[in-house]
Amino acid sequence: MAPPSFEQRLASLRKEAEQYADYLSDEEVEDEVATQKHEEDDFCHDFSMCVVVGGLPVIDNSKHGKLLNVVKKIFSQVGAVVDIDMPFGANGMTTGFAFVEFEQEAHAADAVRTINNFALDKRHTLLVNKYEDLHKFESTPAEFVAPKVDKFVEPKNLKTWLTDSARRDMFALRHGTETEIFWSDKGEISLDYAGDREKQNGKQWCSQYVLWSPQGTYFATFHPQGVALWAGEHYEKVGRFAHRNVKIAVFSPNENYLITLSESEVDNAIVVWEVKTGKLLRSFPLGKPTGEKGEVVQGIMTPFKWSADDRFVARRGKDVISVYELPSMKLLDKKSLKADGVHDFFWSPTDPVLAYWAPEGNNVPARVSLVELPSRRELRQKNLFNVSDCKLQWHPNGTFLSVKVTRHSKSKKTLFTNFELFRLRESLVPVEMLEMKETIVAFAFEPKGTRFAVVHGEGNQRLNVSFYDMHGGTKKNELTLLYTLADKPCSHLYWSPHGNNIVLAGLGEINGVLEFWDTDEKQSITIQEHFKCTHVEWDPSGRVVMSAVCQPIDNSYYKFQMDNGFTLWTFQGKKLLEEKKDAFYQFLWRPRPRNLLSDEEYADVVKNLKKYERRFNEMDRLKERERVAAEKAEKQRQVTEFTELVKSRQAAARALRQEYIALLGGYDSEDEDEYIVQSRTFDDVISESEEVVRKRDSVLVLLSPRWQLVCWLLVVAVNIVAGLFLYFAARLLRFLRDPDVDYYLRLIDASVTQSQLIYFSAVYAALSMVFWLEALRLLVVSLVSRRLSLAGLPTSTDVTATARRFRRRQATFEPFASRASRVLKRMSFDLFSDHGLLGIKSDYFSKVQAARKLIQIVSQLYQAARVSRLVSREHVNWSLLVIIIFNCISTPLILKFMQRKTGLLRALCMACDIISGMASAVIIPVTILLPYYWAWDHDAMGYSDQLLYDDVWFITAVMETRLLISTTWIDLAFKIYPFIECLICLNCIKAILHSKKSDSEPMRQRKIYRPAPSRS
């Protein structure tokens, strides 16, 4: 095949220039003729790659070749030289200058910057200038003209997203051809920008990967022509970096510089840019010797590494680490850092300290070194033996350095691991060793704290997770094992940005098991699953966790495409949002700027966080009100719009109806007066049954609606009062679990554990719900027009007949009920029905009532014994004594009276029983508790110092508080028994109130009719 002609190459250059200009320019495209002329001029008169070298020796033709080689050798160190021209004068001697042409414009700029003023010998100094500058120097006027001062333009605010009133976080999505940026607030997401401006111009915002800068200021998009930066409220383009087919981009920590890496451009594979100006600082070839002693740039997947303060950038070479100063990009002190056999290195995230490790070789042990820059002072060196591999990991605060050392036995058949932990904040940088015989799967430091977690074990499914503290143990600075979780499906560790909470994630073969763990409480919050999960990331606030299934952007045949998407969880493991996305590539939270608070100020804010809770709650309430108001306004708008639409349609229908009636000659088919409707009803007897029930020896008493309503309200009131008391008792026990007030339990020497408080609180809460549900049911079920049946005691015949009816009713639903449900229904019926053991119509009602009263008296005696021993107030003791005496005297009288009387009088006896029981269970504790509640300071979460240092008041409070708090299960049983007794009595009274006339009169005959359909 013939080589391409000049015209073909020129056409190719024109097409490439069009694409290049389309990407890099925001200006309108020039017309075709002007564009063609400019391209031809640039092609024919482009001297941007040429430099002029002055200060050369003036020689004759005999030394021309030797001098030419010297000049070529000097300039070849900068870049590939195409041609060198050293002209002769009329006298046959050289003119003292030469023209040097490079392959690229960047090399020419580097030559001017690095070789200018280079001393060739004692008498000759090279002066290097760009060829294009000659025209600029020639056109410089002899007289100085003051430059025009441009009008000040206020720079764009690139931090507008931080002024969001709701303090929301943001995230970016890449899926399919879409690039989207969302706001996130408690699981609700709203689209902020999706490249609409670019879509209007017929462009795609991004076709490859995206990247946030470390502090969230810039949003970088990758394109075939290079990298573009976007920022500001409307995501305007603020930077362009022309570098073809960039695969990796790395910002410096302070966002001042950017490194881009490309595989397609060998000579300029790695380029260092200044972000704000877009200036190219320096470029490096891939895999070619550069700098001092021929050190080699690392591979494409390992870019340069930035220092924490943006002052230096370093890369590894052969036996050296080249550290460059910014922005000059010159070697620090004009020489590399000597590091024999260096294998890998990492900067400290907070200090100018560089850590590197070198493997064993030539009878020299492996070592880990810490070097401070720019002084090059070695802070610490640790020699290691029998090393197979090392992994370095810094604590986010730079306080610790972990070195995971994989060692081998002398036979090199057995591998084991130990951690070398460096303490950077202590003098002489001490090192602690942690040895583990099992395989290490994952390691992670707690970002805000001194703990770290390790996943270790054999196998792939069930592993162990251990938590260690660098400041634990009896001594302040001592490595301590906190605890170990056995058999966890975990392969990755993800700490919350604020510490304490951690996600134990089982990715890969474990298929996305996510366990949310509270490190302080040593308990699992919840376990969730995200099938085939590949990525987990916390948002900067530490409140939301993202899990996602992503596929590579260049793999359209990814095997898990059906599961692509992301899920948002709270830090407690509650699912907030789940979305499926086809061809889902990336999910990136927008980082926040660094915290300006010191560690002490941060700790003080966390300690006093409760002071700000009211303000935050008020803001949440205002936001909720605004949301509700907006929803109401939107609904009102829709209603108004719909009403107007209906009115317009009705007006149009009325106009059409008149035309329709006119077409029918005045007949209106929709007028009901035009029709004659006849209805006939037929009843068919389906079945007829007769049942004779023995009439009870009872008397029916009809109550007026007013008295019936009064009885109903009293029953409801008792249920509500009992429920409220139990609810506040549960709240009190839960309140005592607060770490800020648990010292009161220790103060009164209450022998109760945290778990017992949880159980006791749950019992009170459950019993409170029973009373409230009963009250709610009574409020829903109306008792108007009900009769009170003054029924006598039931007989065994009645119970047998009722049970028989229950079994028949149960057999009707036999195909739909299990054996367990039948047993539970039968037990409930036998206990709580009217004829059950605890029912008002039971054959054993008197005996059961006597047993209940006896247990009630025993519980009151138990409480009286405790009151007399702990309570010093006389009126409390006398009140409880009166209640006990009343119970002891009234119990036989009430039982005897209830055996002779029935109906309403029996209900009155039960009401007296309820009053005496509730007096000891509710009134006495409330009487004791109210003075302490009034004395409690809710803002300070405690009592005043004046009361606490009052001996009489303090001792009285301690003794009486012991009485109120249940410390044992027996004490709890005696405290809640009066409420159970009250619940049984209320059930009996309710049964009397719900009795109907049909319960006491026989039903002679019943006919069932089926209404026939009406015929018109």
- Higher-pLDDT residue of 1008 and 345 is 345
- Higher-pLDDT residue of 586 and 767 is 586
Specify the 3-state DSSP secondary structure of 223: strand
CA distance 284 to 296: 10
Q: Residue 386 region, left (φ>0) first, then alpha (ψ -120 to 50), else beta?
A: left
Report whether 112 contacts 99 (CB < 8 A).
no
Half-sphere exposure of 728 (CA within 13 A, CB side): 12
User: What average pLDDT does this structure show over 758-766?
Assistant: 75
pLDDT at 644 over 90: yes
pLDDT at 895 over 80: no
CA distance 724 to 718: 10
CA distance 573 to 514: 8
Local confidence band at 403 (pLDDT 50, 70, 90 cut-offs): very high
pLDDT at 706 over 80: no
Report whether 314 contacts 331 (CB < 8 A).
no
pLDDT at 193 over 50: yes
User: What average pLDDT does this structure show over 720-744?
Assistant: 69
Q: What is the pLDDT of residues 48-82, one digit of tens each?
A: 889 999 989 999 888 888 888 888 888 988 888 88
pLDDT at 874 over 50: yes
Confidence (pLDDT) at 142: 79
Specify the 3-state DSSP secondary structure of 503: strand
Beta strands 415-423 and 210-212: pairing type?
A: unpaired
Domain ranges within the chain, ordered by starting residue:
40-135, 440-529, 713-783+843-997, 796-841
Q: What is the pLDDT of residues 131-151, one digit of tens each?
A: 888 878 887 887 888 888 878
Q: Which residues of 682-713 are buried (b: 16+ CB within 10 A; e: fewer)?
A: eeeeeeeeeeeeeebebebeebeeeebeebbe
Half-sphere exposure of 419 (CA within 13 A, CB side): 26
User: What average pLDDT does this structure show over 196-217?
Assistant: 91
Specify the 3-state DSSP secondary structure of 380: strand
Q: What is the pLDDT of residues 74-124, one digit of tens each?
A: 898 888 888 999 998 888 888 888 999 998 888 888 889 888 888 888 888
- Higher-pLDDT residue of 555 and 144 is 144
Question: Among candidates 304, 185, 816, 203, which has minimal Cα distance to 194?
Answer: 203
Give me the CATH code for the 40-135 domain, please: 3.30.70.330
Tokens of 991: 């049964």
CA distance 240 to 903: 93
What is the number of helices (H) and of strands (E) in the chain? 20, 48
CA distance 215 to 213: 6
Angstrom distances, CA of residue 771 to CA of 435, 720, 781: 59, 7, 15
Angstrom distances, CA of residue 688 to CA of 947, 1003, 1005, 1008: 79, 13, 8, 6
Tokens of 186: 């408690």
Q: Report the amino acid identity of residue 755.
A: S
Q: What is the pLDDT of residues 267-325, one digit of tens each?
A: 788 999 999 988 999 988 876 444 344 343 333 445 689 999 999 999 988 889 999 99
Of how many residues is the chain composed?
Answer: 1016
Q: What is the dihedral of CA 170, 174, 176, 178, to 10 degrees?
A: 50
Q: What is the pLDDT of residues 222-259, one digit of tens each?
A: 998 999 999 999 999 999 999 988 989 999 999 999 99
Q: What is the pLDDT of residues 770-825, one digit of tens each?
A: 777 777 776 665 444 343 333 333 444 444 455 455 455 544 444 444 556 666 66
Question: Among candidates 501, 568, 508, 507, which has minimal Cα distance to 537?
Answer: 568
